[in-house]
């Protein structure tokens, strides 16, 4: 859930707090200087969780948008504070020039800066003084914050109006645009903190190759947002209300998010002895359709006539030449390159990570034995288990030795890559017999896969398993090529609070 919130934060400036001057502005010729300065309160699970501050400035023919969002969320006894600072510079016509963000969802800040020139976008990510650079073709005609807001003003707010815009949103996709499908609705009345307010509904569906996210805002007669709503599965909705600075900065209490997103298993499972488990996953919301689950050597799925999905998850045999099955399709060297490459989350050029990987791997060369050795090393290396970290990079875990399942998973993947084992991470659910004040639940979880002998093999450093129990369900896999947030968050967002699980059979 923390990853999902981290993904959502940069989108707030587009729909939730673009500013509220006295009247209408000319989208082709906005005022010089600061023409928008807005504060907003952020609510979730019935309480205030943070604030947002967003500004728009014109300097010559350049529009600069900036936003700061700070949110505090509860995870049992380890609250997580997420802070995002974001900026973008665009021409008056909405053509992006440069952009950047600084995310602090762990103990070390991660910075990203991008430039757009000659139909290319170049992105530099920085942590611990180390820079990594990626370059892609810039999606022709794609806009960012000001360009999207400007397009809305130009289109107008006549109810029934619909249009689609290509948006470059680095948090969702680095190598292409996502499509923002906008629908203009009717005027609605609502009450907030005892005051009656009125706004016109605007719905924006952000569609990417890995999923979609629907955002809703209510604007005044000049098109400036009053209220915004973003789905926060399992916790209702995240609501953003524009307000004055003093109100926005008032104290807020973190709602408990971890236990609110667990799923009851309805029975006890002997995870240590189980060799195969069959599950039925179904939606509990009529407007949610289950997306396909990934097929891996451990997991196969079958869609049933009623829309539910039956999964079979089996414990794998770890040995060369093991029988092949679904999910065992061999990959070419070109395909495997992505799972050996360095990226922001897995910086294989980090001297400290390289040193740790050599220490962990030793002289072992047998890939199965090496993977097991690395898993055991990471299981013991992370000495401070805490839910108070959002999503740390492998470089950070290497130095802090702290985190939860995601930190175990990312560090193990990094040590594997440095030792020439292609790796990726898996996001999904794992069975937990007792956690907090709940028993027999499925909690959201992350683990690691190495590509060995022509197949992806699961290793779980957090649960100390080299031969992984089938008491788990995979929702998504990722090389973390694009910083991982979108790759893993969107598949989770669609399922949190929207599914039920029946354990059909345990062998």
Residue range 71-94: mean pLDDT, rounded: 79
* Residue pair 491/210 in contact by the 8 Å Cβ criterion: yes
Q: Is residue 76 pLDDT above 80, yes or no? A: no
Closest CA to 289 of 502, 498, 476, 500: 498
The tens digit of pLDDT for each residue in 194-215 reads: 788 899 999 988 887 767 778 8
Q: For the chain, what percent of residues have pLDDT higher than 70?
A: 82
More confident call, 232 vs 316: 316
More confident call, 403 vs 334: 334
Intra-chain end-to-end CA distance of the chain, in Å: 31
Is pTM, for the whole model, over 0.85?
no
The tens digit of pLDDT for each residue in 150-161 reads: 998 899 899 999
* Residue pair 279/473 in contact by the 8 Å Cβ criterion: yes
* Residue pair 240/16 in contact by the 8 Å Cβ criterion: yes
pLDDT at 127: 72
Mean pLDDT across the chain:
83
Distance CA 165, CA 175 (A): 17
Q: Write b or e for each residue in 136-155: b if 16 or more Cβ atoms lie within 10 A of its Cβ, otherwise e.
A: eebbeebbbbbbbbbbbbeb
With residue 286 as reference, give the H or E element that holds it: none
Q: Is residue 437 pLDDT above 80, yes or no? A: no
Distance of CA 203 to the CA centre of its chain: 21
Q: How confident is the model at residue 484 (pLDDT cuts 50, 70, 90)?
A: very low
**């070419």: which residue's tokens?**
332
With residue 388 as reference, give the H or E element that holds it: none
* Poorest-pLDDT segment among 135-144, 167-176, 481-490, 498-507: 481-490
Contacts of residue 413, Cβ cutoff 8 Å, sequence gap at least 6 = 346, 394, 423, 424, 425, 448, 480
Residue range 313-320: mean pLDDT, rounded: 85
Paired tokens of 371: 């993977």
Q: Is residue 10 pLDDT above 70, yes or no? A: no
Q: Is residue 435 pLDDT above 80, yes or no? A: no
pLDDT at 164: 94
Distance CA 251, CA 318 (A): 53
pLDDT at 354: 95
pLDDT at 15: 42
The tens digit of pLDDT for each residue in 92-129 reads: 999 999 999 887 765 556 788 999 999 999 998 877 77
CA dihedral 25, 27, 31, 35 (to 10 degrees): 70
More confident call, 67 vs 7: 67
* Residue pair 128/109 in contact by the 8 Å Cβ criterion: no
pLDDT at 83: 80
- Burial of 474 by CB count in 10 Å (0-12 exposed, 13-18 middle, 19+ buried)? buried
More confident call, 60 vs 487: 60
Residue range 156-170: mean pLDDT, rounded: 92
Phi-psi map region of 454: left, alpha, beta (phi>0 left; psi -120 to 50 alpha) = left
pLDDT at 220: 86
pLDDT at 108: 56
More confident call, 179 vs 482: 179
Q: Is residue 13 pLDDT above 50, yes or no? A: no
Q: Is residue 355 pLDDT above 90, yes or no? A: yes
Q: Is residue 226 pLDDT above 70, yes or no? A: yes
* Poorest-pLDDT segment among 249-263, 306-320, 348-362, 439-453: 249-263
More confident call, 7 vs 469: 469
Q: Is residue 319 pLDDT above 70, yes or no? A: yes
Q: Is residue 86 pLDDT above 70, yes or no? A: yes
CATH classification code of 262-506: 3.10.620.30
pLDDT at 502: 93
Q: Is residue 5 pLDDT above 50, yes or no? A: no
Q: Is residue 134 pLDDT above 80, yes or no? A: yes
pLDDT at 482: 67
Residue range 415-428: mean pLDDT, rounded: 94
Residue range 422-431: mean pLDDT, rounded: 92
């Amino acid at each position: 859930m923390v990853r999902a919130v981290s993904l959502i934060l940069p989108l707030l400036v587009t729909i939730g707090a673009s500013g509220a001057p006295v009247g209408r502005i000319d989208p082709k010729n906005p005022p010089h200087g600061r023409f928008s300065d807005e504060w907003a309160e952020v609510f979730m699970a019935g309480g205030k969780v943070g604030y947002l501050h967003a500004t728009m400035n014109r300097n010559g023919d350049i529009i600069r948008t900036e936003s700061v969002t700070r949110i505090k969320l509860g995870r049992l006894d380890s609250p997580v504070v997420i802070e995002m600072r974001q900026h973008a510079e665009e021409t008056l016509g909405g053509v992006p020039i440069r952009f950047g963000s600084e995310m602090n969802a762990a103990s070390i800040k991660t910075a990203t800066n991008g430039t757009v020139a000659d139909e290319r976008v170049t992105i530099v990510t920085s942590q611990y003084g180390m820079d990594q650079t990626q370059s892609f073709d810039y999606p022709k005609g794609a806009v960012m914050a000001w360009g999207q807001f400007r397009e809305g003003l130009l289109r107008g707010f006549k109810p029934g109006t619909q249009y689609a815009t290509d948006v470059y949103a680095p948090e969702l996709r680095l190598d292409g645009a996502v499509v923002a499908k906008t629908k203009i609705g009717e005027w609605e009345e609502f009450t907030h903190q005892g005051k009656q307010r009125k706004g016109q509904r605007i719905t924006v569906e952000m569609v990417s190759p890995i999923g979609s996210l629907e955002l809703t805002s209510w604007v005044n007669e000049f098109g400036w947002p009053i209220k915004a709503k973003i789905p926060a599965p399992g916790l209702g909705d995240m609501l953003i209300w524009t307000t004055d600075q003093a109100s926005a900065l008032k104290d807020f209490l973190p709602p408990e998010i971890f236990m609110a997103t667990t799923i009851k298993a309805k029975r006890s499972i002997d995870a240590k002895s189980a060799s195969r488990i069959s599950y039925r996953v179904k939606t509990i919301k009529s407007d949610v359709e289950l997306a396909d689950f990934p097929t891996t050597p451990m997991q196969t799925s079958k869609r049933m006539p009623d829309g539910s999905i039956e999964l079979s998850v089996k414990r794998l045999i770890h040995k060369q030449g093991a029988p092949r099955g679904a999910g065992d399709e061999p990959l070419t060297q070109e395909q495997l390159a992505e799972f050996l490459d360095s990226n922001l989350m897995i910086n294989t050029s980090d001297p400290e990570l390289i040193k740790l990987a050599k220490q962990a791997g030793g002289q072992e060369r047998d890939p199965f034995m090496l993977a097991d050795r690395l898993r055991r090393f990471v299981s013991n290396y992370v000495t401070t288990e805490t839910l108070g970290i959002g999503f740390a990079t492998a470089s950070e875990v290497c130095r802090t030795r702290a985190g939860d399942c995601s930190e175990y998973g990312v560090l193990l993947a990094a040590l594997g890559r440095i030792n020439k084992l292609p790796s990726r991470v898996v996001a999904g659910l794992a069975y937990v017999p007792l956690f907090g004040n709940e028993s027999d639940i499925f909690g959201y979880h992350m683990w690691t896969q190495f590509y060995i002998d022509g197949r992806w093999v699961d290793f779980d450093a957090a649960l100390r398993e080299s031969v992984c129990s089938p008491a788990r369900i995979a929702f998504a896999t990722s090389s973390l090529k694009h910083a991982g947030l979108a790759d893993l968050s969107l598949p989770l967002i669609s399922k949190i609070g929207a599914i039920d699980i029946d354990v059909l059979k345990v062998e």
